[in-house]
Amino acid sequence: MRWKTLEEGIQQLREVAVLEVLFGRGGQHDNDPDKVRCTGQMLWNLATLGPSQYATYIATIHPDNNRETVGSVTNKLRNYESIISGPVQAQVSAVAKELREEIREKMEEVTEKMEEMMRRNTSHVAPVRVTGPRVRAQQPPARERGYTPRADLWYFLRDHGEDMGRWDGKPTSALAARVRELKERNTNRGGSTKMKVALTSHDQAASQGGARENRVYWTVWIRWPGTSEPQKYEALVDTGSQCTLISLEYVGTEPISIAGATGGSQELTLLEAEVSLTGKEWQKHPIVTGSGAPCILGIDFLRNGYYKDSKGLRWAFGIAAVEAEGIKKLNGLPGLSENPSAVGLLKVEEQRVPVATSTVHRRQYQTNRDAVIPIHKMIRELESQGVVSKTHSPFNSPIWPVHKSDGEWRLTVDYRALNEVTPPLSAAVPDMLELQYELESKAAKWYATIDIANAFFSIPLAAECRPQFAFTWRGVQYTWNRLPQGWKHSPTICHGLIQAALEKGEAPEHLQYIDDIIVWGNTAMEVFEKGEKIIHILLKAGFAIKQSKVKGPAQEIQFLGVKWQDGRRQIPAEVINKITAMSPPTSKKETQAFLGAIGFWRMHIPEYSQIVSPLYLVTRKKNDFHWGPEQQQAFAQIKQEIAHAVALGPVRTGPDVKNVLYSAAGNNGLSWSLWQKVPGETRGRPLGFWSRSYRGSEANYTPTEKEILAAYEGVQAASEVIGTEAQLLLAPRLPVLGWMFKGKVPSTHHATDATWSKWIALITQRARIGNPNRPGILEIITNWPEGENFGLMDEEEQEQVTRAEEAPPYNQLPAEETRYALFTDGSCRIVGMNRKWKAAVWSPTRQVAQATEGEGGSSQLAELKAVQLALDIAEREKWPKLYLYTDSWMVANALWGWLDRWKKANWQRRGKPIWAADEWKDIATRVEKLPVKVRHVDAHVPKSRANEEHQNNEQVDQAAKIEVSKIDLDWQHKGELFLARWAHDASGHQGRDATYKWAQDRGVDLTMDSISQVIHDCETCAAIKQAKRVKPLWYGGRWSKYKYGEAWQIDYITLPQTRQGKRYVLTMVEATTGWLETYPVPHATARNTILGLEKQILWRHGTPERIESDNGTHFKNSLINTWAREHGIEWVYHIPYHAPAAGKVERCNGLLKTTLKALGAGTFKNWENNLAKATWLVNTRGSTNRAGPAQSEPLGTRDGDKVPVVHMRGMLGKTVWINSASSKDNPAPGVVFAQGPGCTWWVMQRDGETRCIPQGDLVFR
């Protein structure tokens, strides 16, 4: 790094000396950097990186005889500086002072002319100078190279009366030649004083090193699309220009014609880039570019706010910027620290934290060389602040420096090994996504954020808890006196203590994520007051807050890495630039890094999973890295999607807000999106996009099941965003709600019954949640928002639909109108072997009910018949109007608007006649003649809240009931039965009381009657009862008819996932001896089951006759059935939830898990490495006393060979020694587990390897 001042050079020299202290050979120098020998290479580097006035003198210093040290060289340089800055320098300063005075006087005169010109050219928007004296013009680098911008040449020619139309389109060189010609002519002729002033002005503008008299130029940094490094320009500040122009060969995508930029009109292009006047704060802005365009900063950019020039003077353009100037900022409050290493001390007792269960000692590994000096300084500073101290501890963890994005280093320690043996602690840190949802619902105008400085280091630790955090630096062991970074429980403890401090101080409404806090409000002053109080509480509690870490009040702010504005979540510009600037990955690691960078923003990208699926393929361990056309296309597409990602939110509430969930199932996965629309919006606002690929057997689902799955996932995600109380309009590609309320699962289904019960339980329960008179879920069929206006229908179309008016609540009807009110209801029952419906009408004023009955219909048909019956009464008695009250949403919605749509569609929907078309036609005809007002009545209201309207609805409900019934076919009761069936299955087919308690613990309301009915109809429970009544077969020798290897029980056990991705073990138990075989796999699938059986059973023990398993999808499917049939194997499925049926394999599963845990020191750590040994230990338990297969024949044939006369009962399970072919090797121990061909035996060695050994090579122990 180059140095400009002598002190900077000395600092660099000392830093090199520190490196020599740390990495040099011991004994050559002390730990004092000033005593380090200054080598010739050190002096050479110092001279080449410094100013020439010092380089000459440094070259005269000779580092001979090891006499020159860093301290002696430093003293010589300082003496030399005092000499050159003496009398000679004073003379130079005096001359420079006179020149500055002359220049200042000249510049004041020029500035006055410039301001006069700006007032003439910008009468519509005048720049408002906020503070400071006049601004002096800056000299652009282009001028130093002798280049004159086209704009300067154009202004020169215009001022000299040239016809600018003739210069339109001419090259810059032609304009420059004409300027030189005019200069020479005017120089020869002379001219008026005014002309000379103009010529002098433009001579100075066109010559090298000349000042621009009448124009202000500012330095502008621009980051063009697709680039990461910004470019620097000198642009003319021109408030008269309506657009910002930059001379560049880069061509944009949108052509544009600009008049007046260079005289006449010019065809240029428009593109969007990031612009900054400081090089730090960026904002996107459209820029006009072209090879002939001048560099102009127009009013379109300047009116965005106020700016600082190179002299620190502030300029404001436009009224809004002046108003923003008066906003009070939180970073100006007293008590905030300017020290970048500020550390507070929380005023609480020293914290006793969980202590590791065993000692962990890890040596320090090699660290980054660039981090040595910063970490060394940081440890010294932390030691002086009392954060760390020297110690002697049996614990030790390596230092892990982290390079932060702002260029600083963070001292963290690699506590991964310590975290593994640290007892758990209940987590109290909120979910980041939930915080974003909550902040999104605020829809605030102003924000402010507060970041506590070194919050972990502000929390004191108890002395007995400190030794476990020890680390070593430069041979000295330190430990933390405060809460360390990198330890698993630090975020939880820190978040809880900060939260307690804020609650104790009664902090205003805010959101907190560990040490990050945000406040919001509708005005800047409201946010300032909230932030001021929170800062006061934190400072009083003992925390330190850095001034640079307090932001706002502002209308745009970043919190948790997300940009917030008006309650909307946006991707920050720097994130977009970082992602779009990334090059295509060249390895799996780079691909994973790219996916990690974009994965956080997946909610902003529609169908994210489908787009990036080719990228995930190359990251799989079983695949080699190959970057093909599919990957390149996905890489380019996702970067484009990130660059054009939309903002999400805000989440709005209210009766007029429509929440629409679009769900769809594609060929490769599911996708759903949530939108909101309020009256007056032509398009809705998205709240989030979700997508995922199919998992496991989901790809084999039927199209209807896939759509239901997408709706199920969408309802779950939407409930997290908008809550469960808001009404959700479900818009799937195919109708799904009808399947949720059917009486049974379709026969063609591929998903399991438990999965269907899960879908039905969530969706039907969500449909019942909501405000009174509004269902929680209402299914609609509409277009997706891609490329079309969002909404259920056009506003004009809504107005044209004539519908029955909504009736007022019954208790609000005028007394004379109540006689025209009727309550309707319908029901359906099975009487005997026939289905029977009943429709009823109740008159509140007459207190009488009228009913009609029929056969062969449903409860929905009965509701229609009840409406027809009410119309009959009103027509017969010649009522002028009818108030209809019903608890059926189907009837209410139809009379409110559906009837008119159906009539226009000729009583068809999608080419098919609507249901009950004749009844609807009759009702529509009669409603046209008789004014009808309809109101929906909530049928599920507790008696404590029931009013007169609900009581009348209860009366008509009683009138519509059929006394004799077997099954209630009302959809609500069917939904309750589905919930009860799901709870009964999920709880393990327990009894009535146990199932009821299980459901209550999970917030599901069920009745004892529905649970009893489900248990009574459950085939699994019936099979379990039957099995309990019958004496088990194995009591009478269940396996006595099978020989060794002919019958097996198999199952899967789940273990923690290994680094190789394996987390399941296929366990196979031989039924006659209890011999165990194991096979680890990454997924429990039918394919892996077959592979395990063939490798572990068929190849070692021969083809079995019988295999028993449970009813899991990895066992019960067509692939397994086909394989078993081809091999002549009888596959038997156990009774679900009946453990005795799978007794052998369940006992071995328990023994295997216990053994693995014992080998892993109480955990399942490294279970895959211990699996072979654990299997061997399970198989050798009591093997000398356990009988082998029941086989009495002394001779037998195996694979066509004669088996020797040896009793298998005395051989199998025996521990033997295997003689080696080489006399030098020792015999290996093993256990005989099966008979091989001829005179051979299968033996499992201690390391898990199995071998077929001749009997002569076996020695009994």
Q: Which residue has the higher pLDDT, 1044 or 264?
A: 1044
**Residue 970 scores a pLDDT above 60:** no
Average pLDDT over residues 664-686: 82
The whole-angstrom separation of Cα 374 and Cα 378 is 6
Give the best-scoring range by mean pLDDT among 270-274, 340-344, 800-804.
Answer: 340-344
Q: Which residue has the higher pLDDT, 972 or 144?
A: 972
pLDDT band at 300 (very low <50, low <70, confident <90, very high): confident
In this structure, the strands spanning 296-297 and 231-237 are parallel
* 849 CB-side CA count, 13 A: 21
pLDDT at position 1141 is 54
pLDDT at position 769 is 64
**Residue 625 scores a pLDDT above 80:** yes
**3-state SS class at 1004:** coil
**Residue 682 scores a pLDDT above 80:** no
Q: Which residue has the higher pLDDT, 783 or 1256?
A: 1256
pLDDT band at 466 (very low <50, low <70, confident <90, very high): very high
Average pLDDT over residues 216-227: 79
List the structure tokens of 148.
Answer: 């004159």
pLDDT at position 796 is 29
pLDDT band at 87 (very low <50, low <70, confident <90, very high): very low
Q: Kindly report the average pLDDT of the chain as a whole number.
A: 75
Average pLDDT over residues 942-959: 82
**Closest C-alpha to 1245, from 1259, 1230, 1233, 1260:** 1230
**Residue 715 scores a pLDDT above 70:** yes
Give the best-scoring range by mean pLDDT among 120-124, 418-422, 784-788, 1172-1176.
Answer: 418-422
pLDDT at position 909 is 72
pLDDT at position 150 is 60
pLDDT at position 52 is 67
Assign residue 1010 a region: left if phi > 0, alpha if psi is -120 to 50, beta otherwise?
alpha
List the structure tokens of 973.
Answer: 């009761």
pLDDT at position 1193 is 36
User: Cis bond leading into 553, ω under 30°?
Assistant: yes
The whole-angstrom separation of Cα 1112 and Cα 752 is 9
What's the Cα-to-Cα distance from 69 to each of 27, 39, 491, rounded to whole Å?
Answer: 15, 8, 47
pLDDT at position 1199 is 42
pLDDT at position 187 is 58
Contact 1084, 1074 (CB under 8 A): no
pLDDT band at 123 (very low <50, low <70, confident <90, very high): very low
**Residue 122 scores a pLDDT above 90:** no
Of 757-766, 856-865, 969-978, 1111-1120, minimum mean pLDDT range: 969-978
Average pLDDT over residues 276-299: 77
The packing angle between helices 1143-1159 and 1167-1179, to 10°, is 130
Q: Which residue has the higher pLDDT, 775 or 639?
A: 639
pLDDT band at 783 (very low <50, low <70, confident <90, very high): very low
**Residue 320 scores a pLDDT above 60:** no
pLDDT at position 461 is 93
Average pLDDT over residues 127-151: 40
What's the Cα-to-Cα distance from 717 to each of 433, 511, 684, 731, rounded to whole Å?
Answer: 11, 22, 18, 15
Average pLDDT over residues 194-222: 49
Backbone angles phi, psi at 913, to 5 degrees: -60, 145
pLDDT at position 1099 is 79
**Percentage of the chain lying above the pLDDT 70 cut:** 72
Average pLDDT over residues 980-1003: 77
pLDDT at position 116 is 56
The packing angle between helices 629-643 and 608-617, to 10°, is 140
What does the pLDDT look like over 14-69, one tens digit per residue?
777 777 776 654 444 456 777 888 887 787 778 777 776 677 677 667 665 556 78
**Residue 454 scores a pLDDT above 70:** yes
**Closest C-alpha to 214, from 293, 148, 135:** 135
Q: Which residue has the higher pLDDT, 1184 or 826?
A: 826
pLDDT at position 804 is 56
Of 92-96, 357-361, 672-676, 917-921, minimum mean pLDDT range: 92-96
Average pLDDT over residues 1075-1104: 88
pLDDT at position 539 is 92
Tell me the H-state helices in 1018-1101.
1019-1029, 1086-1093, 1099-1101
Give the best-scoring range by mean pLDDT among 88-97, 528-537, 1114-1123.
Answer: 528-537
Average pLDDT over residues 950-961: 86
pLDDT at position 127 is 34
* Helix, strand, coil percentages, rounded to 5, for the chain: 40, 20, 40
pLDDT at position 1209 is 42
Average pLDDT over residues 99-118: 55
**H or E segment to which residue 772 belongs:** none
Average pLDDT over residues 1155-1167: 84
**3-state SS class at 556:** coil
Q: Which residue has the higher pLDDT, 895 or 545?
A: 545
pLDDT band at 135 (very low <50, low <70, confident <90, very high): very low
Average pLDDT over residues 974-980: 69
**Residue 147 scores a pLDDT above 60:** no
Average pLDDT over residues 599-615: 88
Domains of the chain: 6-85 (no CATH), 110-324 (2.40.70.10), 330-570 (3.10.10.10), 573-643 (3.30.70), 658-795 (3.30.420.10), 801-969 (3.30.420.10), 975-1017 (no CATH), 1041-1179 (3.30.420.10), 1196-1260 (2.30.30.140)
Of 317-331, 631-645, 868-882, minimum mean pLDDT range: 317-331
**Percentage of the chain lying above the pLDDT 90 cut:** 8
According to DSSP, the residues that pair with 471 across neighbouring strands are 397, 478
Average pLDDT over residues 639-665: 84
The whole-angstrom separation of Cα 975 and Cα 957 is 19
**Residue 333 scores a pLDDT above 60:** yes
pLDDT at position 531 is 92
